[in-house]
Amino acid sequence: MRQHNDSEFIDLLNSLRVGELTTAQVELLCERRHVPLNGEFADGVAVHIFPTLKQVDDYNEKMSKENAKLHRKYQRNG
């Protein structure tokens, strides 16, 4: 389903973006709905698609905060 030259998948993404999925496209997505959200599908690893910039910004803010927890900053004096 993630092939670069897969016109069916590209059409599905474009339809999803504008909120006009066909029945066949919904069925294709439903085949994948029970994939566990860990490993390669975890937050920060998998690609996420959002219909609005607000949702994109909210997700990016969430992930920035999560990443900040994982990293330490060191400062040299002098």
* Chain segment 16-67, per-residue pLDDT in tens: 888 899 999 988 888 877 666 666 667 766 778 888 899 999 999 998 998 8
Distance CA 34, CA 54 (A): 26
What is the pLDDT at residue 37? 66
What's the predicted TM-score (pTM) here? 0.47
3-state secondary structure of 45: coil
Structure tokens at 70: 């994982």
User: Does the pLDDT of residue 2 top 60, yes or no?
Assistant: no
φ/ψ of 46, rounded to 5, equals: -80, 155
What lies within 8 Å, CB to CB, of 22 at 6+ separation is 15
What average pLDDT does range 3-17 have in this prediction?
81
User: Does the pLDDT of residue 13 top 80, yes or no?
Assistant: yes
